[in-house]
């Protein structure tokens, strides 16, 4: 299939390259022409075509149903791109937002575009800087027709079954087999980003639990404790042993172990931990639904506090964020 990709940053560029590896043609645009050239050169089989503007990108899409994937930061820049594309795409064309857009904006956009016959799909995309090789876990919302049409693209981006053991009792007609491959049509427009939003809220809580646990162990040699109760624990070794058969083993723990093996003091991190919006939105949804979410709430507030003073726990958080997403602390 042929698809246009707008925004060739850490994830957008890798998405384009992964698609080209699976035989799809990609038309590329970024506001930085040098970035376009670099991503085009990384695509395989000559399947990358450079565009010098959004209208140029759309004009180079030759399929009967044009498909454009927008991979830009949530907010005004994505909104502007969607509005520009609404004037360039035609009936039955498909516009995909693969960023971290607020799901209520998806619902609004989908309704506006539907008036012109344009299909809107929101794709919550998880995989960070590792997605090129590992694949991307994707949760998406939109009409069944449009979702089915882009299935070959999503299957190419997804991790696939790999060597993950199958879950027992999944051979039921009401369970979607695509979930086992790492991608899932969640429902109407907005549902994909809603599920991804909650995913990131859960991520906040998991990261915070690891951070607090390592901080407790780190402080076990504190002079405030009786001498016979002090332990000088090796954080890198503990992270490593937990990776091997422990019930808390996970990718986040893998990233923590990698960071600690490199530098157990994590001195390259200040511990000033940013939040990119999804945690806040998750709590807004919890409040609207009257659902208690104390763990996610506490983890978000800890990130706020980290910007006025921080400790080893926040450095653990920073190390994990850098590991999975390449997030660099603001200086």
- What is the C-alpha separation between 87 and 83, in angstroms, rounded? 7
Percent of the chain topping pLDDT 90: 85
Mean pLDDT of the chain: 94
Residue 176 has a CB neighbour count (10 Å cut-off) of 12
Q: What pLDDT does residue 277 have?
A: 87
**Overall average pLDDT of the 119-147 stretch:** 94
- What is the C-alpha separation between 240 and 263, in angstroms, rounded? 14
Domains of the chain, first to last:
2-188 (3.40.50.720), 196-313 (1.10.1040.10)
pLDDT of 331 strictly over 60? no
Long-range contacts formed by 181-185: CB under 8 A, 24+ apart: 181/155, 182/135, 182/136, 182/137, 182/138, 182/158, 183/136, 183/137, 183/138, 183/139, 183/140, 183/154, 183/155, 183/157, 183/158, 184/138, 184/139, 184/140, 185/140, 185/141, 185/142, 185/144, 185/147
Active-site residue list: 196, 203
pLDDT tens-digit readout, 198-249 = 999 999 999 999 999 999 999 999 999 999 999 999 999 999 999 999 999 9
Q: pTM to 2 decimals? A: 0.90
């Amino acid at each position: 299939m042929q698809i246009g990709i707008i925004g060739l940053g850490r994830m957008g560029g890798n998405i384009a390259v992964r698609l080209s590896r699976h035989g799809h043609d990609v038309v590329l645009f970024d506001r930085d022409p040098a970035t376009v050239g670099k991503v085009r050169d990384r695509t395989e089989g000559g399947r990358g075509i450079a565009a010098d503007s959004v209208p140029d990108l759309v004009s180079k899409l030759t399929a009967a149903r044009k498909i454009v994937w927008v991979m830009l930061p949530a907010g005004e820049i994505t909104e502007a791109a969607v509005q520009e594309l609404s004037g360039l795409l035609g009936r039955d064309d498909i516009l995909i937002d693969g960023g971290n857009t607020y799901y209520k904006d998806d619902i609004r956009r989908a309704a506006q575009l539907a008036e012109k016959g344009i299909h809107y799909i929101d794709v919550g995309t998880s995989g960070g800087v590792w997605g090129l090789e590992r694949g991307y876990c994707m949760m998406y919302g939109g009409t069944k027709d449009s979702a089915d049409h882009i299935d070959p693209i999503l299957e190419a981006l997804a991790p696939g079954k790999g060597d993950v053991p199958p879950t027992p009792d999944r051979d039921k007609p009401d369970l979607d087999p695509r979930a086992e491959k790492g991608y899932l049509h969640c429902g109407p427009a907005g549902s994909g980003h809603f599920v991804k939003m909650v995913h990131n809220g859960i991520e906040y809580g998991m990261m915070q639990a690891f951070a607090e646990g390592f901080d407790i162990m780190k402080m076990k040699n504190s002079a405030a404790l009786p001498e016979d109760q002090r332990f000088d624990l090796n954080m890198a070794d503990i992270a490593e042993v937990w990776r091997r058969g422990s019930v808390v083993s996970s990718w986040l723990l893998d990233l923590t172990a990698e960071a600690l093996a490199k530098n157990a003091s994590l001195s390259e991190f200040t511990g000033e931990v940013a939040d990119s919006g999804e945690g806040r939105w998750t709590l807004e949804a919890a409040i609207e639904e009257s659902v208690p979410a104390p763990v996610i709430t506490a983890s978000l507030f800890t990130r706020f506090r980290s910007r006025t003073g921080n400790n080893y726990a926040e450095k653990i958080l920073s190390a994990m964020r850098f590991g999975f997403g390449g997030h660099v602390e603001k200086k």
